[in-house]
Structure 1
Amino acid sequence: MENSYRFYRNTACEYFPCHKVENKEEFNCMFCYCPLYLMEDCGGNFRLLDGIKDCTGCIIPHKPNGYDYINSKIVEHNRKKK
């Protein structure tokens, strides 16, 4: 997938890839920091360490469809608040 508003791969980053993945070509750097971090029900694979959310086991934002997933969760969250 080429760089676009939905997908961006920064191979020049010293941390690339920041998670262990099978295919680096599909690693999406668009959300280097997940916008869903503060959401209790983000849908990701996280764990709590002394009450702090540890997302190192989650690669949802870094999958090719991560942009669409994150946007849908934000829309869903905002609809619930109305």
Structure 2
Amino acid sequence: MNDLYRKKPEECHYSFTQHRACEFFPCHKTDHPEDFNCLFCYCPLYTLGSHCGGNFVYLDSGVKDCSNCLVPHGRGSYSYVVKKFPELMELAKKNR
């Protein structure tokens, strides 16, 4: 069996990337820019609203403000986001 399948996602290169040349890097305030993950530049969990599990607020306008959220931007974020995919699939089914 391939060793790749024995590793946790966080041990593999595909689960973490940084784009330090990006004009917005890091796009959220962090004390640890070396651990900032750019893989989910636009959070796939945004559409889950209050079920995303992140640190967000709703503005008076109704817009979800994720400025203080680092959930999709940590070294372990890949596994968290992937575990939320069933919820995203259910949402997509409702919006066919």
* Deviating 4+ runs (over 6 angstroms): none
Larger radius of gyration: 2
One-letter amino acid of the counterpart of residue 43, structure 1: G
Where does the alignment leave 5 or more consecutive residues of structure 1 unmatched?
Answer: none
Check if 1:43 corresponds to 2:61: no
Residue 46 of structure 1 contacts residue 54 of structure 1 at CA under 8 Å; is this kept in 2?
yes
Deviation of 1:20 after TM superposition, in Å, equals: 1.0
Question: How many pairs are equivalent?
Answer: 80
Q: Please report the RMSD computed on the Cα atoms of aligned residues, expressed in angstroms.
A: 2.2
The Cα of 1:73 is off from its aligned counterpart by 1.2
Scaled by the length of structure 1, the TM-score of the pair is 0.85
* Pair 46,20 (structure 1): closer, same or farther in 2 beyond 3 Å: same
Structure with the bigger percentage of helix: 2
Report the CA distance between 1:2 and its aligned residue.
Answer: 9.1
Unpaired runs of 5+ residues, structure 2, are 1-9
